[in-house]
Each structure stands twice: as C-alpha cells, then as structure tokens.
C-alpha cells in the first residue's frame, strides 16, 4: 500500500519539476482540476433521474385542449407538493404548442416526451366517439423503459395523499370501477419495448376494442385481470411480479361521494379521486360547483398549486365592461319611437309587431347565455358565478331599456338561478338523496313563477305595441312617456 502511495507522489511531484515544462504541467493540472470540479458541481445541481414515474398524456384536436392542459399542470404540481419519490412525465403529441411544453418543463419541473400520434384503427366503428381518437397515445407509456415502474394517469385525478407504494405492483395493475371492466384513469405498468411493439402489432391487425379508445383496447389486451389477486404492497418494499387488481381507494369515482356526500370506501387507502363523468362536468369548469360538490375540491388544489393569474385580468376587464353598461343604461333609456314617425300600413304593422316580439325574446335569451360563454372556463367557481350574474344583469338592462320592459319579470330567472346555487351549495345536507330532493322541490316551486314572469314579459310587449309606444303617428307628440324617463 505504501509503495503505491509513494509511486503516486513521485509521479505527481514530477509534474512540477523542470522549469518551463513544470509550469506547463502545473497549468495543465490546474485546468484539469477546475474542469472536474465544474463537472461535479453540474452533476450535483442536475436533478437525478428516478426509477419510477407518474405519467400523463396530452394531445390536441378537441374543443377542450386548454382545459386539459391546465388540469395536467394542476395534477403534476399537486404530486410535486406531496414530495413523491418519482419523476413527473407528460407524453405530449408533436402538435402540442411549444409554449405549453416549455411551461411544463421550466415552471412545473415535468419531463416532456414528444411522440407522434398513434393512428386509431377503430375510427369506423359504429359506437366510436371522436373525442377518444388519440387516447391510444397512452400506449407510449410502455416505451418509457428508463423507468422500472410507471403510474399512468388521466388528468382528472385528485391526489389526497402519496401513492408511491403503487410502484411495488407488478407488470400491470388497474382498478375496477365498473364491476367487470377496469378503469384506465390510473394504472401501473412495467415499461417494456417488447410489450409496446406487440401492442402496436395488435393495433395493426385490429384487435377487438369495444369502445375504440384506450380503455377498450387495454381491457382486451389484459382480459384476465378480473381473476387476478388484489394488490397489497409488501412491507419490505420489494416489487411484485404479475398482474393485480388495485383497491378501489386508488380510483374513487366521484359519483360514490354524491350519494352520501362523504367517502365510504372501506377497501384500500382513500388516495385518489377520479371524475369519469360527462366532458362538460369535469371538475375544472367553473360551473361544475355547486352542481357537483367535489368541483370545489379540484379548484382548491389549483388555488394552492397553480393559482389563477392568467384568468384574473380577463375577469376584471369583463366586470368593468358590465358595470359600465349598467351605469350607461341607468343614465339614459333609448326609445325606439325616435326611429319611425310614419303610420305603417296595417299589414306591415302586424309583421313588425311579431318581429319585435321575437327579437325581444331572443334578446332575453342572449342576455342569459352570452355571459356564460365569455367567462374563462377554468376560473374558480366563486369568481365565475358572480361574474355570470353581473353579466346577465348588465345585458338584461339593455333589453329592458330597448324594449321598455318591466325589470322584475326579465330578472326573475336570474333570481331563480341565484337561489338554486344557494340551495345546491347548502353544506349541511345529511346525504345526496336529501340534497337532490331539495333541488327538485326548489325547481318545482320556481317553475310557476318563471312561467308567470315570461307571460308578464309577453303581455308587456303586447301592451306597448297596441299603444303604439314604438311607432307613434306622424304629427303626434313625441314627448317621452314616463317609461322613457331616467330612472
């Protein structure tokens, strides 16, 4: 041992001997040391690649691409906040906007794997839904061979706690929400290029697929999963081999909550909530709450992890515009009587009266629908609903002034909508059945009032037209009536 040390010291000291040559050797050694030091520092700063990954996919071509992008960001940030011992990966198709990819990488710490869209051979099936056209991109999860295990996720999952024990599961593990068909909103897999290539081959030869989407294909590819044992993570941390069923607590269908308004799932840890509902009732939409009570839970995760900085300026601009419209209509009530002073032929008057009635009704309908579509879809419900009420009140004030309608009947529906929100948001219902009955009773009681208000609007229009409030005769006084005065 000492001989080796003396030999090394002799060689090292020889580098510094010999005048100019020694100086060059000294410069070489110093440069080498600095280079090695920088390389070690860079290696320490670079995030180490982990053996496991939580993965999601993103693709384009649906009306809800942006919403799913936001949902993916919220889910990935919530996983990061849980300090999961795994990489976060997004399998993104080549047409995902570059700025979205950059945001995921730089702001969310996500590894983005860019892939070509897999051609869906089931597009001509009779029951094929076009929104599932590119869901077969999920098969790319098997190509992530740099990881030992991958938990593949849909973006509509809410994580209540860490689920890293899933990485101990076998080659394929999934949850049965449906008694007979497992759900692909969360499943565990062992990446394998052989399996991936075989899946692509099965797509080419047209393997049976009941729904033409990823779930139908995987259910056909793993047909015996229902007969497999339930997954229980080994206490010593070892990984299992084979396929397993996952406990329902890893994919708690939100519909189970709505029945009792609380979770009552005894099998497995209550770890992940999923929302396999209609696309327009996903939890990130502002109108999802209080219609669906759990919508607020998703928005709380977004508030804590991502925030609403991108939507708030739009909300403020809309609010200012709506307030300005209300202020203007309070100062002056325009009168259509100024538009015409000649007596029309009787036939023209009938046609004109009918046209005005239709225009008034459609204007009221537009006042209630236009604000709904102008509000950014993924804002917090406590911001979205007040802005909707303000927008309806603003546009309704224009209709009231233009057609000289009584305000209360026009706004009755808005008052009814506001009341229904309070009925649905009431937090002390004992269960979902009582809540549903309360909403039904409220709607049943409001229906006659809404109908009466509609009849009142119709009769008001008829009275105004019969008195020719809109079209006075030539030579008659055009002095504004009491209805036209400022109010």
Residue 478: helix, strand or coil by DSSP?
coil
pLDDT (0 to 100) of residue 25: 53
Asked if 241 and 255 touch (Cβ cutoff 8 Å), the reply is no
What pLDDT, in 10s, does the model give residues 439-448?
Answer: 999 999 999 9
What tokens does 351 get? Answer: 């046609």
Q: What are phi and psi of 98, to 5 degrees?
A: -60, -35
Indicate the pLDDT class of residue 346, thresholds 50, 70 and 90.
low
Which residues touch 310 (CB under 8 Å, ≥6 apart)? Answer: none
pLDDT (0 to 100) of residue 10: 47
pLDDT (0 to 100) of residue 284: 95
pLDDT (0 to 100) of residue 215: 93
What pLDDT, in 10s, does the model give residues 27-81?
Answer: 544 454 455 454 444 444 445 568 999 999 999 988 899 999 999 999 999 999 9
Q: What is the 3-state secondary structure (H, E, C) of the chain?
A: CHHHHHHHHHHHHHCCCCHHHHHHHHHHHHHHHHHHHHHHHHHHHCCCCCCEEEEEEECCCCCCHHHHHHHHHHHHHHHHHCCCCCEEEEEEECCCCHHHHHHHHHCCCCEEEEECCCCCCCCCCCCCCHHHCCHHHHHHHHHCCCCCEEEEECCCEEECCCCHHHHHCCCEEEECCCCCCCEEEEEEECCCHHHHHHHHHHHHHCCCCCCCCHHHHHHHHCCCHHHCCECCCCCCCCCCCCEEEECHHHCEEHHHHHHHCCCCCCCCCCCEEECCCCHHHCCCCCCHHHHCCCHHHHHHHHHHHCCCCCCHHHHHHHHHHHHHHHHHHHHCCCCHHHHCCCCCCHHHHHHHHHHHHHHHHHHHHHHHHHHHHHCCCCCCHHHHHHHHHHHHHHHHHHHHHHHCCCHHHHHHHHHHHHHHHHHHHCCCCCCHHHHHHHHHHHHHHHHHHHHHHHHHHHHHHHHHHHCCCCCCCCCCCCCCCHHHCCC
Average pLDDT of the chain is 85
In angstroms and rounded to an integer, the radius of gyration of the C-alpha atoms of the chain is 33
What pLDDT, in 10s, does the model give residues 405-431?
Answer: 999 999 999 999 999 999 999 999 999
Q: In CATH, what is the architecture of 52-305?
A: Alpha-Beta Complex (3.90)
What pLDDT, in 10s, does the model give residues 210-263?
Answer: 889 999 999 999 999 999 999 999 999 899 999 999 999 999 999 889 888 888
pLDDT > 70 in the chain, percent: 82
Q: What is the mean pLDDT of residues 188-203?
A: 97
pLDDT (0 to 100) of residue 1: 47
What pLDDT, in 10s, does the model give residues 448-485?
Answer: 999 999 999 989 888 877 765 454 443 444 444 444 44
What pLDDT, in 10s, does the model give residues 270-306?
Answer: 899 999 878 888 999 999 999 998 999 999 999 999 9
Distance, CA of 469 to CA of 9 (rounded, Å): 110
What pLDDT, in 10s, does the model give residues 427-441?
Answer: 999 999 999 999 999
């Amino acid at each position: 041992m000492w001989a080796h040390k003396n030999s090394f010291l002799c060689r090292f000291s020889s580098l510094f001997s010999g005048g100019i040559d020694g100086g060059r050797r000294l410069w070489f050694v110093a440069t080498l040391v600095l280079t090695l030091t920088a390389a070690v520092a860079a290696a320490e700063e670079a995030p180490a690649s982990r053996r496991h990954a939580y993965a999601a996919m993103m693709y384009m071509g649906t009306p809800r691409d942006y919403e799913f992008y936001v949902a993916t960001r919220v889910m990935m940030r919530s996983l990061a906040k849980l300090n999961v011992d795994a990489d976060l990966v997004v399998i993104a198709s080549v047409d995902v906007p570059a700025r979205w990819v950059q945001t995921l990488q730089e702001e969310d710490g996500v590894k983005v794997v860019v892939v070509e869209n897999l051609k869906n051979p089931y597009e001509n099936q009779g029951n094929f839904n076009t929104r599932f056209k590119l869901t077969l991109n999920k098969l790319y999860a098997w190509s992530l061979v740099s990881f030992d295990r991958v938990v593949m996720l849909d973006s509509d999952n809410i994580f209540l706690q860490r689920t890293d024990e899933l990485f101990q599961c076998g080659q394929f593990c999934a949850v049965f929400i449906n008694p007979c068909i497992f759900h692909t909103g969360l499943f565990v897999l062992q990446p394998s290029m052989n399996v991936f290539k075989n899946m692509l081959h099965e797509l080419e030869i047209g393997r049976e697929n009941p729904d033409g989407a990823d779930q139908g294909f995987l259910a056909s590819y793993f047909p015996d999963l229902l007969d497999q044992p339930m997954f229980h993570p080994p206490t010593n941390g070892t990984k299992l081999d084979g396929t397993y069923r996952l406990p329902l607590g890893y994919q708690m269908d939100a519909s189970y909550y709505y029945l009792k308004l609380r979770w009552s799932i005894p099998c497995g840890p209550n770890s992940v909530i999923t929302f396999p509902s209609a696309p327009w009732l996903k939890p990130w939409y502002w109108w999802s709450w209080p219609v669906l009570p759990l919508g607020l839970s998703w928005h709380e995760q977004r508030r804590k992890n991502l925030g609403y900085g991108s939507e708030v300026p739009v909300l403020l601009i809309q609010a200012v515009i709506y307030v300005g419209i209300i202020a203007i209509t309070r100062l002056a009530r325009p009168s259509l009587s100024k538009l015409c002073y000649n007596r029309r032929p009787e036939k023209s008057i009938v046609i004109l009266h009918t046209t005005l009635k239709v225009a008034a009704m459609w204007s009221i309908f537009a006042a209630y629908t236009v604000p709904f579509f102008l509000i950014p879809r993924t804002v917090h419900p406590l911001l979205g609903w007040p802005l909707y009420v303000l927008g309806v009140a603003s546009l309704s004030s224009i209709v009231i002034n233009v057609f000289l309608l009584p305000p209360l009947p026009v706004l009755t529906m808005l008052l009814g909508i506001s009341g229904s929100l309070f009925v649905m948001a009431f937090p002390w219902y004992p269960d979902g059945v009582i809540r549903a009955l309360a909403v039904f009773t409220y709607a049943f009681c409001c229906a006659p009032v809404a109908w009466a208000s509609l009849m009142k609007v119709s009769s008001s229009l008829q009275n105004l037209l019969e008195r020719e409030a809109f079209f006075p005769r030539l030579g008659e006084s055009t002095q504004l009536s009491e209805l036209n005065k400022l109010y």
